[in-house]
Chains A and B, each alone.
Chain A
Amino acid sequence: MGSDEDEKKDEDNPDTQTDVIIRANIEAELPTEEAPRPIPADIDDSPTRPIPRPQKAPVSSTVKPPFTQEQTLGAFLEDEEPSQTIGVHLEEEPSMTLGVHLEEEPSMTLGVHLEEEPSMTLGVHLEPVDPKSNRLPVDSLGSIHDAETVITSDTPWFGLHPTSLIVNLIPRAWSTIRSMWPILLFVVVSGQGVGMRFVDLLVILMFALMSVWNTFIHWATLRYRIHQGRLEIKQGLLNRQARTIDPERIQNIELVQNLFHTWSGLVELRIDTAGEQTTEGLLSALSVEEATELRAHLAELGSLSHSKGEDGDEGEVIVEMGISEILAFGLTQRTIGTVAVITAIGLEVMTQAGPEVAADFTVNMQPTMVIAAFMLAFVASWAVSALTSLFRYFGYKMLSLADVIRTEQGLTTRRRVEIPLSKVQIVRADEPLLRRIMGYGTILIETAGLGFVDGEQRQAEGMVPMVDYPDLGRVTSTAAPHAKVDPWTAKLNPAHPRSLYRSIFGATVRAAILIGFGMALFGPYRWVILAILPIAWVGAWLDWKKQGWLVTPSAIVSRRGFFNRRTFIISRDKLQSVHRVQGPFMRLHGLSQMVVCVAGSRVPLPETGVQDTDWLVQELSRAPT
């Protein structure tokens, strides 16, 4: 479809390239045949001139004098007798070759213009060899002939690959179903197992049709192009939407290939800018070549460096993950919450199975059974999460190219994320207790492009699931090279001693609320719940003990948490604003808290005393050097 009229990147595209060459040849040859003929007839006094020059000279002479000359040419075309014009031109300048063409086939003139002076008209947009400078000629376009400006401003649009109709259908149908599941649920439940009624069938049919229709409209209306150094995407039938993305503003690019994509040789391209919510540029099905080309083009223009490796073999491998590590990641991922949900669902299913079974169950319910159920849920949740993590992170690899970090992962759905180092806002290291005991940590790389993908918010754009403890510093400093800090070897400043009171107070309040609920819910064993209190206190103490902060001339580090230890590393040149917060109780203790904001997130430092705070305020609001 769109790929056929692929004129955008002439340099790479064989079709148009040969096209140009052929035509150029014709023109190069035609004049040589014809120029000699008229010249001897009309002019006698300059015999040496005509033959060698006509092909070469016009190029240079039309480029140098500005556009007035062409305008006269254009005028001649319409107004005057061609034969006369030729005569005039012939004598004056060697550029008569143009004139010859005009006479024979007026429609060819455009072709002549386009090919002979690529630096001025079409060539400017179509083959930006030097992308940075390509805006200059655009400005000078103002003086060019009208007809030409119309042509130049009209970079062709490209569409999605036709196979996207099939590739997109299933995910689309799935998302339609997911967005309307309450209605579907209602349909299923109201069916009461008597069999589908006609109305139900109709509703389901409607969903199917809607998915097909959406997919079709998406394919039929989505168009994109790179125009004047910007990526433009438009789509929609009734609600038209047009986006312009400045390549300089791209926060990250993601190439996703699910099974259907792989089978049909397609790929989905997601482009994030620093906007608020959705992925700004979403091209759901491009052929691999188109996508690579577009990516390379964007890289030339913008923040993604011109990294050499298109096939992903070049660049330094920072992290690789084996299967055992991937499974370990999955096993350490799930929390109590998931288990609770699974148990609840299990009980719910049991009640659905039949009232007498449920009644039986509740009568016979022993504490051992509850514990067994919990264990079962644990195992099930572990298995599921190990499996999903295997699918998601299989073959994980993190590479460092010139100025870009690239991660590759996935078993069935391959995912390749590229983040320009200049766009990294925060590097965060999560070390949950379990993973810490096993000697691992997780690193998340955030840019300002944090957004929603497929309806769920992404935690971070770049993620390194399992990093060996000794490697944490190396990986973070690869991701945030300007920070020049390694929180795992550097000594962090502790939180203020008095902030322990506050955190214990907070823990007590939270525990009290929990205990209140527990007392109300549980029967004879209710006093066991009081055990939460000492646990909360110990937790608060550990949490306080592990807090730390560090401000260097280039970086800010903040660490908090014991059960889920988090370390934030911020390069100071990304700082958006600095705040100091002090509540009444904090004032009582002479404490305050610094909060630093970068694009996309805010990071609180541990609470600090008067002296430290004063220093921090001074330091963080100081003029950048």
Chain B
Amino acid sequence: MIDQNGSQRLDPNTIMLWRMQRLVRLMVVTIPMLIALGIASATTIPAAVAIVVVGTLVAMNVVFTLFWPALEYNAFRYVVREHDLLVQHGVLFRRWSSVPHNRIQHVDTRQGPLERMFGLSRLMIFTAAGSLADASIPGLRTEVAEHLRDELSRRGGDDGV
């Protein structure tokens, strides 16, 4: 939907950031869980089968973790237009959002430990519509994120509530 010329992309480091974030999650949560499952099911199915199944699942997860972020990065576009902010993302489930400036209630920048290592920040945009962020832009250079945050939160107007 967003044309290629006018749009902005995320910082390229985001790919690496996402890979690392997901690898950490994989190591801490997914793989231990799969292994536990394998051990638990070893009593009902032959151990060899369990090992093969768990092994494939882990391998698939790792591959997925390494390749998916690049696709996601390619799919992500955003534009700050005169009266609204457009964000488009999603590899399989495409999502395009338009948030008018005057409807923005507040804008957050957030930064986890890994993001700090890369010097990146997440920008989250909230309207009166709900508790979840209506649009969020992960992986912006911290300066860019802060600049955007200040710019977006400054524009006032009727919030329609």
B107 interfacial by beta-carbon distance below 8 Å: no
Closest to A581 in B: B95
- Measured in the bound complex, the distance between the Cα atoms of B97 and A359 in whole Å is 60
- Measured in the bound complex, the distance between the Cα atoms of B103 and A574 in whole Å is 9
Known: A581-B94, A584-B93, A623-B82. A575 touches B160 (CB 8 A): yes
Known: A599-B161, A621-B98, A623-B83. A576 touches B127 (CB 8 A): yes
Known: A448-B128, A448-B161, A598-B160. A577 touches B100 (CB 8 A): yes
- Measured in the bound complex, the distance between the Cα atoms of B161 and A429 in whole Å is 21
- Measured in the bound complex, the distance between the Cα atoms of B86 and A249 in whole Å is 28
B108 interfacial by beta-carbon distance below 8 Å: no
Q: Which of B96, B99, B129, B158 contacts A598 (CB 8 A)?
A: B129
Known: A573-B160, A617-B96, A623-B83. A580 touches B129 (CB 8 A): no
- Measured in the bound complex, the distance between the Cα atoms of B93 and A363 in whole Å is 54
B72 interfacial by beta-carbon distance below 8 Å: no
Q: Are A597 and B100 neighbours in the complex by a CB distance under 8 Å?
A: no
**Residue of A576, A578, A584, A587 with most partner-chain B CB within 10 A:** A576
Q: Are A581 and B93 neighbours in the complex by a CB distance under 8 Å?
A: yes
Q: Are A577 and B83 neighbours in the complex by a CB distance under 8 Å?
A: no
Q: Are B95 and A579 neighbours in the complex by a CB distance under 8 Å?
A: yes
Closest to B134 in A: A577
Q: Are A579 and B161 neighbours in the complex by a CB distance under 8 Å?
A: no
B65 to chain A, nearest CB (A): 20
Known: A274-B128, A597-B127. A582 touches B160 (CB 8 A): no
Q: Are B135 and A617 neighbours in the complex by a CB distance under 8 Å?
A: no
Q: Are B129 and A600 neighbours in the complex by a CB distance under 8 Å?
A: yes
Cβ contacts under 8 Å, B127 to chain A: 576-577, 597, 599
Closest to B125 in A: A577
Q: Which of A448, A575, A601 contacts B100 (CB 8 A)?
A: A575
A557 interfacial by beta-carbon distance below 8 Å: no
A583 interfacial by beta-carbon distance below 8 Å: yes
Contact with B along A221-250 (1 / 0, CB 8 A): 000000000000000000000000000010
B146 interfacial by beta-carbon distance below 8 Å: no
Q: Are A576 and B83 neighbours in the complex by a CB distance under 8 Å?
A: no
- Measured in the bound complex, the distance between the Cα atoms of B90 and A582 in whole Å is 9
Q: For chain A residues 584-612, which have a beta carbon within 8 Å of chain B?
A: 584, 587, 592, 597-602
Closest to B158 in A: A573
Q: Which of A448, A573, A580, A583 contacts B1 (CB 8 A)?
A: A580
A620 interfacial by beta-carbon distance below 8 Å: yes
Q: Are A574 and B160 neighbours in the complex by a CB distance under 8 Å?
A: yes
Closest to A251 in B: B161
Cβ contacts under 8 Å, A602 to chain B: 129-130
Q: For chain A residues 428-470, which have a beta carbon within 8 Å of chain B?
A: 448
- Measured in the bound complex, the distance between the Cα atoms of B83 and A514 in whole Å is 48
Known: A577-B134, A598-B160. A624 touches B129 (CB 8 A): no
Cβ contacts under 8 Å, B158 to chain A: 573
Q: Are A624 and B83 neighbours in the complex by a CB distance under 8 Å?
A: yes
Known: A597-B130, A598-B160, A624-B83. A576 touches B1 (CB 8 A): no
Known: A597-B127, A597-B134. A580 touches B103 (CB 8 A): no
- Measured in the bound complex, the distance between the Cα atoms of B94 and A598 in whole Å is 21
Contact with A along B63-84 (1 / 0, CB 8 A): 0000000000000000000111
Cβ contacts under 8 Å, A577 to chain B: 97-100, 103, 127, 129, 134-135
The 8 closest A-B pairs by CB, nearest first: A597-B129, A621-B98, A599-B128, A576-B129, A580-B96, A582-B94, A623-B83, A576-B127
Chain A interfacial positions (CB closer than 8 Å to B): 249, 251, 274, 276, 423, 448, 573-584, 587, 592, 597-602, 617, 620-621, 623-624
Chain B interfacial positions (CB closer than 8 Å to A): 1, 82-84, 86, 90, 92-100, 103, 127-131, 134-135, 158, 160-161
Some 7 contacts from A to B, beta carbons below 8 A apart, are: A249-B161, A448-B128, A576-B160, A579-B96, A599-B127, A600-B128, A621-B98
Inter-chain pairs besides A274-B128, A576-B160, 10 sampled, C-beta below 8 Å: A274-B161, A276-B131, A580-B95, A581-B94, A581-B95, A597-B127, A600-B128, A601-B129, A602-B129, A617-B96
